[in-house]
Chain A
């Protein structure tokens, strides 16, 4: 192993669902298709209340270049277009579809390019029109990532199969169960950006996935690299550093060092879109944590209420004290299960009252643990103290905007300081100061 990313932590990975085969749940009675489930401008509705829609039909188009198309996951009726629960905790406009149970689909043959004769521009258009966004969590529109400017040549595609967040196993299962889809998408991505090489990064706690992916018939230029387990290796910049030693410059993007990173789930979605013409209407998510009666990896329609996922899988064994959308390190706490599965929902975790250590925030004792684990080589304790004492004007000098909010500093902090909270607040203060 030539390279390693700097810092990082090693939380207990708790990936007991890694042996649970991906399965489907009974369809939900209504689907909440948010117009903002990606980074960028909200999507624009193309249907009206009362319309009947068919499976795969376009229901909202991109509201800009960095935006996303949205498709009906099944056939049914548009019941409402109104502010609805969203994982962010806010109410955001969504198209509510009541499925009719027929699952009647539109003809996809016109959209598909099964023989791969269209070429990069046509494939990029299909990806854009299929509403594909990064499925690792950030939900950045994929066609934008696959459109680097002319002066940024790409030599390497990284397939991100790291899944370094504890509890999450959706990508792990996908690599075991659909390696062809992932490799198909990887080859398409290489063609689109003109990269000659690709590497699949997988952590050593998924040896079976690494074995399945490192097949003898791997195309030329494609390799699989097993990485030592360390959070946050799945973060783009850290993964690039671990695999290639290249450092994405501050404020820059992976394309600045000739790399495009795609999550394995996203690659599978690219393959389905281009070869079969299927837009992104569903995704695999992990239901985990100590409370669910039916933990596992579920293939669910986008828009399925989280409450439905929980109920259909058997419910919870007791009242939840913490619900997390995503992984425990970077995921967001939810106030309830009203919000839906979005294209970026990698998992839902439920913890009971005694499952998470109670925190007691105290003054920084300058132990230096946060400095040791910070993958960006920042001084997290200094940033936290500056925000606590409202010394906002010094935050920029201490590079607060280079923080990726991975939470490693807070994870190790013996004084239980909410470092990520401080840093987000500090970034917000800087933005507010710049806006004045």
Chain B
């Protein structure tokens, strides 16, 4: 019998998990949060999500064409995911053309200039969000007031709870009423904010889904959330007049979205478990410092981007002890 066999290197069997498994898994996990956004911010939210996803796909295809690459990365789910994550980090009433610019920055500058998926040092969606925040500070901080199932495109804007708190701190010298608000509203998403960051419960549900499917591990989200809770808790115990309770900090702003979906991005976070914990603690600490002492009311995006920059060095110093080498204790004796 003539045969044409493949002389591939071992192993000859592979697990069924592929890049697509992870990307589409994260997209599924984002659905509850996206739905909460659509519920409270209506058609505007859906429009921003659609524009962002489509623009990201188009720019991904364009850049791949310019780079002379094949179009298969369009199907890996990463551009769709970047598009959705970017949209969820934007206010729902942002002009569509700003979303398009953000998509170009995310895909072009955040990802493809480095060589595409796997090579980018910073989370592409966050690069774009921060780019838009600095370029269009007014549009990026006009937060529509949530209005369930409204299909009107006209919106009334207001402040986010974190923004209200910061203002009160500046004007009155205390955290004010916002900091001691009923926490049910932020839990279910009834607060001002980016269209995908409201609804802490829905986002946490998605996070639990990612943990259950083993797409992410607990190390980054848990260390991130615990650090924010612990640090804000200490400040609150010292002076509840100037500092909001830790429970408030956990459910407001972009913390849930950041801890479960942005900080856990494979490409831009450390690879060892020890490194992930350091990364999570770093994200948490920077977030708290910005929220409590910085000029911006919210600091999750900056915190994650700064820790992205620290990822290579964290990886370098958290290499596991290789099998058969002395432990640090043994090496000392």
Q: Do residues B9 and A420 form an inter-chain contact, with CB atoms below 8 A?
A: yes
A317 to B35, CA, bound (A): 51
Q: Do residues B324 and A415 form an inter-chain contact, with CB atoms below 8 A?
A: no
Smallest CB separation, A354 vs chain B (Å): 13
Residue in contact with A410 in the complex, picked from B4, B11, B115, B322, CB distance below 8 Å: B11
Chain B residues with Cβ below 8 Å from A315 are 1
Q: Do residues B322 and A364 form an inter-chain contact, with CB atoms below 8 A?
A: no
Chain B residues with Cβ below 8 Å from A359 are 8, 14
Given contacts A402-B323, A410-B11, contact A322 B6 (CB under 8 A): yes
Chain B residues with Cβ below 8 Å from A293 are none
Which residues of B1-29 have CB atoms within 8 Å of chain A's CB atoms?
1-19, 21-22
Q: Do residues A366 and B10 form an inter-chain contact, with CB atoms below 8 A?
A: no
A408 to B13, CA, bound (A): 10
Given contacts A320-B3, A414-B19, contact A421 B322 (CB under 8 A): no
Given contacts A322-B12, A371-B271, contact A378 B322 (CB under 8 A): yes
Task: Give the tally of cross-chain contacts (CB within 8 A).
Answer: 157
A316 contacts the other chain (CB 8 A): yes
Residue in contact with B5 in the complex, picked from A251, A336, A363, A410, CB distance below 8 Å: A336
Q: Do residues A237 and B11 form an inter-chain contact, with CB atoms below 8 A?
A: no
A334 to B9, CA, bound (A): 10
Q: Do residues B323 and A237 form an inter-chain contact, with CB atoms below 8 A?
A: yes
Which residues of A316-364 have CB atoms within 8 Å of chain B's CB atoms?
316, 319-324, 328-337, 349, 351, 356-357, 359-360, 362-364
Q: Do residues B10 and A331 form an inter-chain contact, with CB atoms below 8 A?
A: yes
Among B2, B15, B21, B266, chain A packs the most CB atoms within 10 A around the CB of: B15
A424 contacts the other chain (CB 8 A): yes
Smallest CB separation, A394 vs chain B (Å): 12
Smallest CB separation, A350 vs chain B (Å): 9
Chain B residues with Cβ below 8 Å from A319 are 1-4
Given contacts A402-B323, A414-B22, contact A366 B12 (CB under 8 A): no
Interface size on B, residues (CB 8 A): 41
A379 contacts the other chain (CB 8 A): yes
Q: Do residues B320 and A377 form an inter-chain contact, with CB atoms below 8 A?
A: yes
A133 contacts the other chain (CB 8 A): no
Smallest CB separation, A334 vs chain B (Å): 7
Residue in contact with A363 in the complex, picked from B7, B118, B319, B322, CB distance below 8 Å: B118
Q: Do residues A333 and B7 form an inter-chain contact, with CB atoms below 8 A?
A: yes
Q: Do residues B324 and A252 form an inter-chain contact, with CB atoms below 8 A?
A: yes
A418 to B21, CA, bound (A): 19
Q: Do residues A411 and B6 form an inter-chain contact, with CB atoms below 8 A?
A: no
Given contacts A367-B266, A411-B15, A415-B19, contact A334 B5 (CB under 8 A): yes
Q: Do residues B7 and A366 form an inter-chain contact, with CB atoms below 8 A?
A: no
A315 to B7, CA, bound (A): 21
B329 contacts the other chain (CB 8 A): no
Given contacts A322-B6, A362-B118, contact A166 B13 (CB under 8 A): yes
A192 contacts the other chain (CB 8 A): no
Interface string of A135-170 (1 = CB under 8 A from B): 000000000000000000000000000000010000
Smallest CB separation, B11 vs chain A (Å): 3
Residue in contact with A379 in the complex, picked from B8, B12, B76, B271, CB distance below 8 Å: B271
Smallest CB separation, B231 vs chain A (Å): 27
Chain B residues with Cβ below 8 Å from A251 are 324
Among B5, B8, B21, chain A packs the most CB atoms within 10 A around the CB of: B5
A364 to B18, CA, bound (A): 11
Residue in contact with A331 in the complex, picked from B6, B12, B118, B119, CB distance below 8 Å: B12
Q: Do residues A250 and B15 form an inter-chain contact, with CB atoms below 8 A?
A: no
B32 contacts the other chain (CB 8 A): no
A363 to B119, CA, bound (A): 8
A402 to B319, CA, bound (A): 14
Smallest CB separation, A85 vs chain B (Å): 14
Chain A residues with Cβ below 8 Å from B320 are 371, 377, 379
Q: Do residues A322 and B5 form an inter-chain contact, with CB atoms below 8 A?
A: yes
Q: Do residues B10 and A329 form an inter-chain contact, with CB atoms below 8 A?
A: yes
B321 contacts the other chain (CB 8 A): yes
Q: State the B residues within 8 Å of A (CB).
A: 1-19, 21-22, 72, 76, 115-119, 266-267, 269, 271-272, 315, 319-325
Q: State the A residues within 8 Å of B (CB).
A: 6, 9, 11-12, 89, 166, 237, 241, 247-252, 315-316, 319-324, 328-337, 349, 351, 356-357, 359-360, 362-369, 371, 375-379, 381, 399, 402, 405, 407-408, 410-416, 418, 420-421, 424
Contacts beyond the supplied A250-B322, A250-B325: 13 A-B pairs with Cβ under 8 Å: A319-B3, A322-B5, A323-B5, A351-B12, A359-B14, A362-B117, A364-B118, A365-B22, A376-B323, A379-B271, A399-B325, A416-B14, A420-B10
Can you list 25 A-B contacts (CB < 8 A)?
A241-B323, A247-B323, A249-B324, A315-B1, A319-B3, A319-B4, A321-B4, A328-B13, A329-B13, A333-B7, A349-B12, A351-B12, A356-B13, A357-B14, A357-B16, A365-B117, A365-B118, A366-B266, A371-B271, A379-B320, A402-B322, A408-B11, A414-B17, A415-B118, A424-B9
